[in-house]
């Protein structure tokens, strides 16, 4: 194998770190394109799922990806060498394109998902051409790899049918919480209250369009408050010691509560969902975007009495004839809000283990860590 035919790939090992290996540059099959990876972001799900695995990865992971087309296979139309694209790795790249869900544009729900062929933690990758969305020339590689996390939040905001005059709350200011703030702001919402654990997250939330940011509140306190409210048959819950966020929401809404709350924490306790239930106004909407990693308890009594709608938002899809990636690209192209600032650290592929360590340590000041020019 000559140097021109070599490419690097980072594989998760049973030792809990990445090893770099040499691989042949893939060849494009019918309907495929081969990409030289320009940027690949480290997602919170990468940190979580790799952290609990101890087996060798057969192919590279990495689903926040942008790259340049270097070759196209037979039957590829509308995409040529040199095109810069963002890749929809979770749904379209593995979709059968023929089942009922694929025909509805719900590619992540495909009933005949194809085998994973390899993700963005590599120099080159081969993907179906239909999974690629062209990037405008004005977007940087960093912005190109932000299309995926922004599309997750765009999907959540579109599902919630949010209106510009409503009060929205975003619980959590990790990548998805921050892109949720950006999506809400880009879609015209002006009253956005956010919770954050770290100052650098709070500062970024304000730059992306938040009205005010509050310190993240104790999840166990909210669980206890929800349990007590359920025991009394009450539809109001407040943690012992109060809630600055709840006070602010009530002050802005004549005591009603937020019109819509986006739960972007996830986690394993369910405390943020309890907080969402009692921060949302009666007949309001809760959107679960964070994706709890374990079965969690929550107050069905509180939801019933408040007549809340719980919307589960997962990844992205085609809504109203437009894919969430398309909407996300338009937002990034506009430059408002300035989402490119979300990328705080950049590494080469050979530094992937250092990049993951930094991404995991939020006290480091990291927001989005990317592998650039991998």
Mean pLDDT, rounded, of the chain? 94
In a shared domain, residues 177 and 300:
yes
Q: How confident is the model at residue 374 (pLDDT cuts 50, 70, 90)?
A: low
Pairing state between β 318-319 and 309-312: unpaired
Does residue 145 lie within any of the structural domains?
no
In a shared domain, residues 244 and 343:
no
Does residue 12 lie within any of the structural domains?
yes
Does residue 140 lie within any of the structural domains?
no
pLDDT at 4: 45
pLDDT in tens, 91-117: 999 999 999 999 999 999 999 999 999
Instruction: Check which CATH number belongs to the domain holding 246 and give it.
Output: 3.40.50.720
Does residue 331 lie within any of the structural domains?
no
Does residue 324 lie within any of the structural domains?
no
pLDDT in tens, 285-311: 999 999 887 788 787 888 999 999 999
Percent of the chain with pLDDT over 70: 98
In a shared domain, residues 305 and 157:
yes
| Token pair for 313 | 């938002």
pLDDT in tens, 68-89: 999 999 999 999 999 999 999 9
In a shared domain, residues 257 and 348:
no
How many domains does the chain divide into?
Answer: 2
Q: How confident is the model at residue 234 (pLDDT cuts 50, 70, 90)?
A: confident
Tokens 């051409």 identify what position? 129
- As a whole number of Å, the end-to-end CA separation of the chain is 20
Q: How many other CB atoms are there within 10 angstroms of residue 110's CB atom?
A: 19
In a shared domain, residues 272 and 307:
yes
Residue 361 structural domain? 3-134+338-372
Average pLDDT over residues 2-31: 85
- φ and ψ of 297, to 5 deg: -80, 145
pLDDT in tens, 168-190: 999 999 999 999 999 999 999 99
Q: Angle 63-69-70 (CA atoms, 0-180°, nearest 5)? A: 125
Does residue 332 lie within any of the structural domains?
no
- pTM of structure: 0.96
In a shared domain, residues 208 and 275:
yes
Instruction: Check which CATH number belongs to the domain holding 119 and give it.
Output: 3.90.180.10
Per-residue CA distances from 347 to 28, 107, 239 (Å) = 28, 31, 42
Secondary structure of residue 50 in the 3-state scheme: helix
In a shared domain, residues 191 and 265:
yes
């Amino acid at each position: 194998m000559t140097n021109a035919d070599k490419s690097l790939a980072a594989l998760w090992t049973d030792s809990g770190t990445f090893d770099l290996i040499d691989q042949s540059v893939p060849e494009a099959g019918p309907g495929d394109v081969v990409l030289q990876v320009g940027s690949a972001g480290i997602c919170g799900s990468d940190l979580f799922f790799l952290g609990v695995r101890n087996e060798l990865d057969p192919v590279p992971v990495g689903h926040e990806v942008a790259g340049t087309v270097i070759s196209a296979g037979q039957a590829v139309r509308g995409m040529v060498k040199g095109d810069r694209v963002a890749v929809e790795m979770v749904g379209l790249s593995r979709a059968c394109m023929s089942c009922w869900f694929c025909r509805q544009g719900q590619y992540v729900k495909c009933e005949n998902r194809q085998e994973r062929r390899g993700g963005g933690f590599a120099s080159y990758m081969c993907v179906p051409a239909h999974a690629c969305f062209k990037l405008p020339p004005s977007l940087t590689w960093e912005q190109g790899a932000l299309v995926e996390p922004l599309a997750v939040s765009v999907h959540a905001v579109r599902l919630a049918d949010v209106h510009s005059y409503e009060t929205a709350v975003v619980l959590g200011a990790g990548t998805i919480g921050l892109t949720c703030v950006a999506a809400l702001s880009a879609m015209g919402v002006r009253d956005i209250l956010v919770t954050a654990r770290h100052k650098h997250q709070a500062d970024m939330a304000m730059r992306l369009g938040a009205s005010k940011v509050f310190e993240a509140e104790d999840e166990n306190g909210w669980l206890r408050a929800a349990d007590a409210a359920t025991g009394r048959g009450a539809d109001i819950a407040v943690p012992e010691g109060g809630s600055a966020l709840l006070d602010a929401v009530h002050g802005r809404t004549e005591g009603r509560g937020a019109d819509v709350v986006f739960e972007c924490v996830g986690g394993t306790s369910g405390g943020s969902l309890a907080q969402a239930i009692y921060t949302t106004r009666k007949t309001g909407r809760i959107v679960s975007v964070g994706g709890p990693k374990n079965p969690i308890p929550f107050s069905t009594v509180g939801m019933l009495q408040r007549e809340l709608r719980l919307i589960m938002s997962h990844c992205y899809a085609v809504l109203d004839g437009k894919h969430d990636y398309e909407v996300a690209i338009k937002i990034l192209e506009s430059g408002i809000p300035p989402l490119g600032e979300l990328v705080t650290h950049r590494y080469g592929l050979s530094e992937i283990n250092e990049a993951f360590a930094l991404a995991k340590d939020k006290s480091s000041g990291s927001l989005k860590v990317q592998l650039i020019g991998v």
